[in-house]
Structure 1
Amino acid sequence: MTNKIKDAIYTKRYVYNLHFHLIWCTKYRNKTFTNEKLSNEMKDILQRVADDNEIVIEKMEVMPDHVHMLISFPPRKSAVDVIKALKGRSA
């Protein structure tokens, strides 16, 4: 009988359940995402970056002056590289 970890992701080589809560602010906390169109554009950009980099966005909220994301990704990727990809392409 095997004991499986609830909500863990099982692959051929490893089992993981990594979640990162990312928050980043606009420069000088300017209220940049003031309407739904801008907010949706940012969500689309971040989703494309996530799709290109094996990142699962579990939750995302774009506020007028900051972004919240709860993400998961395979342990073979470094957190630094994932954050760099998300922030770099969304700037």
Structure 2
Amino acid sequence: MSKYKKQSHVVYKCDYHIVWVPKYRFRILNGDIGKSVDEDIRKLSEWLGCEIEELNVRGDHVHVVVSIPPKISVSTYMGTIKGKIAIKLFRSYPVLKKKPYWGNHFWASGYFVNTVGIDEDMIKRYVKYQEEEERKEERDGKDFTQMNLGI
């Protein structure tokens, strides 16, 4: 029963695999911006009472496996994460605001979400080792960004 979490009146296991992208899927989540996004996702998740199990910030998308308590909806979680991070990024990097294509929106409007069940370990390994797979794809001459990821 160690995988289950407890609150005062509920025992739960609500794990989600969530993927989202910056507007126009620009490769902007590198360097300091990527580090800031990673740190902010972890801090905001903890503040919301959610537990990050795996997190991978790539140049043009973010993968997270997160345990969200039943009192918080996935859409509330995503709205908080995307909203607060966008505000902070525009304040920390004013040059982003000067680009005409952002229009005060850092993230694309949607996201992909999947409940994590039987394949939990496979998804965690995928998120954790995705960078190695991308490098392998690049070496083999395949363009990873053109693959259909369902988002």
Tell me the TM-score normalized by structure 2: 0.53
Runs of at least 5 residues in structure 2 that lack an aligned partner in the other structure: 87-151
Greater radius of gyration (CA): 2
Task: Name the residue aligned to 2:10.
Answer: 14
- 59, 63, 74: which one aligns with 1:64: 59
RMSD: 1.4
Task: Name the residue aligned to 2:72.
Answer: 77
Deviation of the 1:42 alpha carbon: 0.8
Aligned length: 86
Deviation of the 1:6 alpha carbon: 4.7
Tell me the TM-score normalized by structure 1: 0.84
CA distance in 2, matches of 1:51, 1:7: 18
Which structure dedicates a bigger proportion of its chain to helix?
2
Q: Deviations over 1:4-26 (max 9, x none)?
A: x4511133311100111110011
Runs of at least 5 residues in structure 1 that lack an aligned partner in the other structure: none
Q: Does 1:26 align with 2:52?
A: no
